[in-house]
Amino acid sequence: MTTYKIAVLPGDGIGKEVMPEALKVLDSVGRLCGIGFDYTHFDWSCETWLKTGQMMPEDGMSQLAQNDAILLGAVGYPGVPDHLSLWGLLLKIRREFDQYVNLRPVRLLPGIPCPLANKKPGDVDFWIVRENVEGEYSQVGGRFAEGTEAEGVVQSAVFTKLGTDRILRYAFEMARKIGRLHVTSATKSNGLYHSMPYWDERFAAIGAEYPDVRMDQYHIDILAARFVMSPERFDVVVGSNLFGDILSDLGPGMTGTIAVAPSANINPEKKYPSMFEPVHGSAPDIFGQNIANPIGQIWAASMMLDHLGETEAAALILKAMTDVLSTQNAPRTPDMGGRAKTSDVGNAIAEALTSGV
Ligand code: NAI
Ligand code: MG
């Protein structure tokens, strides 16, 4: 039996409520497929920050490095500035573990009302590949003439050849892997003078290595409109850190609830552990009521298995999830229009794995 070492970081708020459901489902699929999980639980969170002034201990990264993968809930809570909690944990892990791919499926699931008119499952079904460690989210820049009339700031974006090429290449490889030979690039080379013309140039160069894959590119503004007007046209969409960030919330938003969407932060070379999390945050507005939807966290666990090479187990979780959602009287949390509790949904998916629905 293969046993994987998994670092479990529920984090803040509803992260603590949805994580147990994902572990329940993992244990269930593990029994079915003969996979073991050796969990190490970490309570790093905003609560830790309030106590210690740090989101993780000094040797936090080397503790995480001992694991095959990281399963994360959500980070951020009122009372702790978001940029401190984010740069202290989530962004730190993404960058120091070189998780340069952020991969998010955009898929309309059965039984979830779609905010776009007349769309059914299958109509909205594509992948967003977002650059995750450079681009617009950089610490390069600064403030000048502080306190004078001339005060201002400069925020620089960083696009290296290495960083740009490897994310574009990942998108083309992804298209081949899923057998949908079409990649769309998000650009804005009409407005951004240096960065996006370079992005386009590299997209053309890397694309030339994949003559079997059809290429499209759109400026980010019209691309956002096309997401909403004709989601059927997309297969794999690749974008820089900022564009990808926005598109990968717009996408899940189009599928009815961001609560079901997962997100994978991947180091494709497997030099460091990759990290899997739901798209949503810690939802302080509903924390404590046990009504958070655990599906995003459960789907994230499925993506983790896929990354670890356990494709069958990963697919079984997805199937159990969609089977449960397809049934008329499935337990649904309030965001899906029902009254079920977090654990009702987790139990139903864990049971569907072993006994069907
Ligand atoms: P949020 O995603 O936490 O909540 C947005 C809205 O969606 C809320 O009304 C919430 O109740 C609802 N929602 C989110 N997840 C849900 C679920 N699983 N089931 C049912 N409803 C759900 O985003 P918000 O409110 O902007 O941020 C709250 C905190 O979370 C902030 O501190 C923020 O920085 C942090 N955050 C962390 C993220 C991460 O860890 N990757 C991502 C987004 C926000
Ligand atoms: Mg975001």
Q: Which two tokens stand for residue 102?
A: 């952020």
Concatenate the DSSP letters of all residues of 33-62 into one string. HTEEEEEEE---SHHHHHHHSSSS-TTHHH
The structural domains of the chain, ordered by start, are: 1-124+263-357 (3.40.718.10), 157-254 (3.40.1380)
What confidence tens digit (pLDDT) does each residue in 203-245 have? 999 999 999 999 999 999 999 999 999 999 999 999 999 999 9
CB-based pocket (< 6 A), ligand 1: 14, 18, 74-77, 82, 90, 259, 277, 280-286, 292-293, 296, 333, 335
Please calculate the CA angle 156-157-163 and round it to the nearest 5 degrees. Answer: 145
Backbone angles phi, psi at 39, to 5 degrees: -85, 135
How crowded is residue 219: how many other Cβ atoms within 10 Å of its Cβ?
Answer: 15
Atom of ligand 1 nearest to the CA of 295: 18
Q: Which two tokens stand for residue 352?
A: 């569907």
Q: Which two tokens stand for residue 176?
A: 């081949």
- Ligand 1, atom 31, residue with closest C-alpha: 76
What confidence tens digit (pLDDT) does each residue in 235-290 have? 999 999 999 999 989 999 999 888 999 999 999 999 999 999 999 999 999 999 99
Give which of 7, 46, 1, 11 is closest to 23, Cα–Cα.
7
What confidence tens digit (pLDDT) does each residue in 68-110 have? 999 999 999 999 999 889 889 999 999 999 999 999 999 999 9
Q: Residue 311, class by beta-carbon neighbours within 10 Å (0-12 exposed, 13-18 middle, 19+ buried)?
A: exposed
The number of angstroms, rounded, from the C-alpha of 298 to the middle of its chain's C-alpha atoms is: 12
Q: Which amino acid is at 130?
A: R
Is residue 336 a contact partner of residue 257, using CB atoms and an 8 Å limit?
yes
- Ligand 1, atom 43, residue with closest C-alpha: 281
Atom of ligand 1 nearest to the CA of 334: 20
Tallying the residues shown for the chain, one arrives at 357
